[in-house]
Amino acid sequence: MSFNLPADSRLARKDFLFGVATASFQIEGAAYEDGRTESIWDRFCATPGKVLGGDNGDVACDHYHRWPQDLDMIRKLGFDAYRFSIAWPRIEPQPGVWNQAGFDFYDRLVDGMLERGIRPVATLYHWDLPQYLGDRGGWVNRDTAYRFADYADQITRVLGDRVESYATLNEPWCAGFLSYRLGIHAPGLKDDRLGFQAAHHLLLGHGLALPAMRANAPKADHGIVLNFTPAYPATDSAEDRAAADYSDEENSHWYLQPLLTGEYPLAVRERHPEWMPTVYPGDMEILARPIDFLGINFYTRAVVKAGEHSDYESIPQDAPKTDIGWEIYPQALTDLMTGFKARYDNLPPIYISENGAADNTPVVDGVVDDQMRVGYYDQHLNAVHNAIEQGVDVRGYFAWSLMDNFEWAEGYSQRFGIVHVDYDSLVRTPKRSSAVFTDWLAQRR
């Protein structure tokens, strides 16, 4: 059994990159080993009521100890590349103190990939901010952007061109808005103005980091990973259509437009001057430093109507959903990318850096028959194919995730892996979906 894509699809060519993705906090465990110190996510997990079931990252998938076996698994499944992230508190456990044991871990991990013929794709910040920076305001504090640039310099100096692609940040919308504005992710603040300020400092940190990254890894590609949940109007009314457009300005273009044009979207600046961040002269030029690729993380869409007391309101849909409750709507992935191509004349090459489904099918007689996930991947790979047919330059696709892991505020309750993890024994069991990928990958030309 394989995916149903046209035989002549761009995705069926061996030069279209297929990978699996994970993130440090979600899989590593070994939370306080070899000098790692607390991150804002360790603190958030320890705060009652923040994470489902009081779950934490102390052990997670124990990848810190089991990485050779995990890399063997990636190779066996037949993927070309592995997108992983680096835990800042392993590298810089105290301000300005660089931890050799932290560098050594990622050094071994990257060499381990190269030995197995797996192409390393790194993300420098996937949300595990050192708690000592959290204590000083986290991303609301402008200084954090400069601290990030120092850390990016140090780690890329060590890993250099062995990593072929570096993303500065994963999903600044989540690290900014979800964390400081909506209160769902660490540190759990609920303040519009602080959300916008945190977002600005994240993007500033991204831009500040780029020159040293390029100097340390001149042959690598350097970019960023953004997440998008495009909004569709609940009805055809002019009000609802305007609400959907506005939602996209605030949640999608707020992050993408400054990177490509050096300006934040006017629609948001005009409507909400009271939320606008403090921006220093010269900042926007830093944000707009050229990038080699855009990573897109896509899971679902939103359906919105004009709110009575807000700019837009989400309307729950009576439609197929994954187990986490996110609507399955692959057309939005095609629309999103063709829309970007129409709006930005300097859109860089795109990688789908995350896409996948929570499907909590259990192990039965040693088998995980996750048919819903298989269908989800099939539909979304076709959505990528369709965007390419319409002229979008997509170069690769990463499944989220290699294995079940710590799903942030949802704890271990939601399983996104194509490999099952038993959290008692830590045994890994490849699911049906991973076998479908393996078949697909083997028949490419």
Residues lying near ligand FCB in the complex (CB under 6 A) = 23, 26, 170-171, 174, 227, 297, 354, 400, 407-408, 416
CB-wise, 126 or 428, nearer to ligand FCB?
Answer: 126
Count CB-CB contacts under 10 A for residue 429: 16
The Cα–Cα gap between 162 and 114 comes to 8
Task: Give the SS3 label for residue 208.
Answer: helix
Least Å from the CB of residue 270 to ligand FCB:
29
Q: CB of 402 within 8 A of CB of 419? A: yes
Least Å from the CB of residue 127 to ligand FCB:
8
Nearest to 59 by CA among 411, 415, 325: 411
Catalytic residue among 28, 92, 354, 407: 354
The strand pairing partners of 130, in sequence order, are: 39
CB-wise, 283 or 407, nearer to ligand FCB?
Answer: 407
Least Å from the CB of residue 26 to ligand FCB:
6
Least Å from the CB of residue 392 to ligand FCB:
21
CB-wise, 283 or 359, nearer to ligand FCB?
Answer: 359
CB-wise, 131 or 297, nearer to ligand FCB?
Answer: 297
Please give the C-alpha separations between residue 208 and each of 150, 290, 312, 442, in angstroms, as whole numbers.
Answer: 9, 12, 33, 41
DSSP string, 94-135: BTTB--HHHHHHHHHHHHHHHHTTPEEEEEEESS--BHHHHT
**31: its two tokens:** 């939370």
Asked about 285 being catalytic, the answer comes back as: no
Residue 410's Cβ-side half-sphere holds a number of Cα atoms within 13 Å equal to 15
The Cα–Cα gap between 432 and 159 comes to 34
Least Å from the CB of residue 178 to ligand FCB:
9
Least Å from the CB of residue 301 to ligand FCB:
14
CB-wise, 103 or 408, nearer to ligand FCB?
Answer: 408
Task: Give the SS3 label for residue 333.
Answer: helix
Asked about 38 being catalytic, the answer comes back as: no
CB-wise, 400 or 412, nearer to ligand FCB?
Answer: 400
The Cα–Cα gap between 199 and 179 comes to 10
Catalytic residue among 171, 249, 250, 407: 171
Least Å from the CB of residue 157 to ligand FCB:
26
Beta strands in 308-418 (DSSP E): 313-314, 350-354, 394-400
Q: CB of 57 within 8 A of CB of 29? A: yes
Q: How many residues does this entry show for the chain?
A: 445
CB-wise, 171 or 249, nearer to ligand FCB?
Answer: 171
Q: Catalytic residues, which ones?
A: 171, 354
